[in-house]
Structure 1
Amino acid sequence: MDIWKLSRTRCDDIQKVANRTELRKDYKLYSQIDGSSGSVMDNIAEGFERNGNKEFIQFLSISKASCGETRSQLYRVFDRGFITMEEFIELKEQTLVLSKMIGGFLNYLKKSDFKGSKYIAE
């Protein structure tokens, strides 16, 4: 899924920032942004594996919220001087694009008549 692939890339981008800056020394903030960016991709994967749209929608909603949490934490990373304004803007915009993609997929699933593979009679 494209949204999972993109969320994986965003998670990796956060890790790269931590590895090349002093963010890795701010353990609490690093742990929070690492956790929230990982939560985006993890909840997409977990919801998909549930094989039902209701559960998938629930997990996508959590994933979208984690995307917002990551974006908020990026402000803190910037405010504490770990990244430049340009890096902040790029990362923030990328998380915004991902959030919109997740939201679009959520809307699609909510309107879909397909309930998921676990509801198909064999």
Structure 2
Amino acid sequence: MNDYKDLKVWQEAINLVEEVYQIINSFPKNETYALADQLKRAVVSIPSNISEGASRNTLKEYIQFLYIALGSSSEVETQLIIAERLGHIENIDSTFEQITKVRKMLNKLINTLKQKL
């Protein structure tokens, strides 16, 4: 398929990973092996699934991996909401905006690829 590193959605997902890791660094120590670890796995899976899908042989497989990335973006958002409600973080509106941006880009790419099926 494409070189995934050229995909704007992959680049924005990498930006999201960096942003979330910075947020996680402010978590209390007791969350290091709980919510923080789950959040790391979820956010890293977004660009990882984009790249894996782009490296597949069929559009159908590519789309499936993009759906997984989309699901992971919702998982990240939910976990950040939980962290916010628990008082671990605050003022992360820009991160929520970045999640929305990535989600919109994923949906657009999915719809574009579905039209090619």
Q: Which range, TM-score by smaller chain?
A: 0.7 to 0.9
Aligned twin of 1:119: none
Tell me, which stretches of 5 or more residues in structure 2 are unaligned?
A: 1-6
Residue 27 of structure 2: which of 18, 22, 27 is its match?
22
TM-score (structure 1 length as normaliser): 0.84
Q: How many residues align?
A: 110
Q: Amino acid of the residue matched to residue 43 of structure 1? A: N
Which aligned pairs between 1:13-52 and structure 2 lie closer than 5 A?
13-19=19-25, 21-23=26-28, 25-26=30-31, 27-52=33-58
Aligned twin of 2:67: 61
TM-score (structure 2 length as normaliser): 0.88
Structure with more of its chain in helix, by fraction: 1
Shift of 1:42: 0.5
Structure number with greater Rg is 1
Aligned twin of 2:77: 71
Larger RCO: 1 or 2 (CA < 8 Å, sep 6+): 2
Residue 100 of structure 1: which of 91, 100, 104 is its match?
104
Tell me, which stretches of 5 or more residues in structure 1 are unaligned?
A: 114-122
Shift of 1:33: 0.7
